[in-house]
Structure 1
Amino acid sequence: MALLLPMGMLLGGLYSVGKLNKQNELIAIKASGISLYRFMFPFLLVGVISTMFNFYLTGWRVPQSKHQEKIFEEQFTGGAGYTPMSRSNFNLYDSTNRFLFVKLYSEETSTFSNVAIQEFETGQITRRIDAEVMKYDTLHSQWVLFNGIERTMKGDNITFNSFVKKDSVKLGFSVSDILSSKKTPEELSLIDHKNFLDLRKKIVFGGTEEIEVKWHEKISFPFACLIVSMLVVPIASQQRKAGLGLWSEVKLRTNDIMGTALESIPPKKQQRIIKTSKTFLIEHAQFEKMNMQYSVIAIQKKEFVYNYDFIENAFCLNSDIENDTPFP
């Protein structure tokens, strides 16, 4: 949908403005004193409205539809019922000095089993809490640990404290943050996607590049409608000998090829391609600079090339250059 709406605006603008240009209506509009900005105002207005509408679809409606589609497939495709998420043997990094090791998490009961919480200061462990069960209290918005042992380290001294229930541990995430990790970036709304990205940067080391790319895509793609509305008038107002239909087909095929290529390339490879392209452009610029310097030297040595209007009549007086004799 993010690409369908800009393409529709491109086709509509090309055919409408191209039709006016073909019937010489643009010349009449310019002759009547209407400026280009006034003529483009309706296109820009439609572009702004389409951008806002596309922004709403891409940021909220499309992710919600994808999430409902995923639930429907899990419930009805192949007779397999919906299975709640269950994760085992994973780590959570609540902050730079607090780590959580979880043996098992069950979405059905919203509980963590066999949890170990470690706190560090200056590279040394200062406290460790081991609990059999950890649950999230939605009423008080806090985590509660059951049946565990708390160890406190101060130098060489270690103190033990057993507990049946402990609710004084403050963690920087809630159970909803854990549940959101089940969704893919395509299923998250724009706000939830940003919160999920911040959470992953906070509690996980690395591996957030793809999530960040998807978030920027949701923001950047809707603005394609506005960009198309600004470019369609200058493009369609030019005379094309091959016809408007062929010009539109070339644009469509180019967009399809570029879009398919970008979708199939991972983000890390895209960065390598961009880096390689920059290197190629720099080397090409240096090569062109050397050619210009050589051309200046050639002119100083009177190495002339006669150019005529038609390519087939162009020639170079190599013999005169080698003999260093004046041209007739």
Structure 2
Amino acid sequence: MHRQIFKEHVSIFCLAMFSLVFLIVIGKVLQLRELFLGLDIGILEMLKLFGFLIPAVLLMIIPIATMLSVFLTFLRMSSDRELVALKASGVSLYQLLPAPVVFGTLCTLLTLWVSMFGISWGMSNFRSSVLELAQTRAKVVLQPGVFNKSIPNLMIYSRSSSLATGELEHVLVQDTSRDTGGVTIVAPTGKLISDTAQGEIRFVLHDGKIYRQNGNKISVLGFNQYVVRLALSQLVKGVHLGKLRPSGMSYSQLQAIKKDPSIVESESFIHKTDVEIPKRWAMPFACLVLGLFAMPLACAFEGMRQQMGVVMALGNFLVYYSLLSIGMKSGESGSGFSPDITLWIPNVLFGCLAIAGLYFTAKERTVNVTAMITHVLFNRRKGKGDGTCRS
């Protein structure tokens, strides 16, 4: 019996995961369309990038899929009167707990791995891949002997360039990105360098001169090394590739900032880090909590169609995530409420509801919500019908 229940959990979980990931991928395609069009990315490279983004969304998808799996399994069992038959044969609801508890624990461990390691791995590889593609595009744009204007606010000319190493010779750069006016830079040699951590491409020029025009005067400044920084947000639209955010960091990186906040400049960055650390623990344990909560909830909605059951389960998860979002916003604003407490409130609340629901369901003291709603609708239709006949 436990094996069959566990298999049904797994089958529904896989279907829910595939459906939710597919919907999110469709949304990401629309969100990142400028990236794909701008870098001329092929199908295989596109799938590779989406593969790196999936761990970031699994932190939210796995708890939803876990809740749906348990809810739809027990909804079907209650609607098919299997639970009634099991109770008649002496099997209580508590004896059905091992399968969903084991399933929820496995989902919790999977989400915990994604939370601690998967997110940072995916975001690091995504940034590196996009940066590599952008650097390749920048190298392709820098055709030797041509005044290249494809990069915003920069006009670049080099007599010769190497696509493999990024080496440039006899370079002329006109930079109009500064508010004070444009400057013209001339250097005998240069190099194109990418920086994954900062999310930028650098044109490093050596032993050249900077020409700046102020009215009718031209000032000349020599240099040993001059760096022209190009943020990838200028070259790649539709995706953030600046400094790494807390949501994309590994747990060890978050802990390092927690121990030494002086390594970051912004106060808001510290608050976001303080929120992200308990979130990385709260979301995995939501799998177990929501899975147990789904058992008595499914029994309360006995007779409901599977389609409506999906809507009902998603509605309950929306309540959970709304409470979580309130805790996150409170922590990020630095309002005085500790994120270590506010982010665990949804788990504690739904955990208490799960325990109470299991107790009352096992005692057969719960209300059949589906039957109650059907009864109310039937009486309303009957009342309308009687009124029509009397008129």
Query: TM-score, with normalisation over the residues of structure 1?
Result: 0.47
Larger radius of gyration: 1
The structure carrying a bigger helix percent of its residues is: 2
The structure carrying a bigger strand percent of its residues is: 1
Query: TM-score, with normalisation over the residues of structure 2?
Result: 0.40
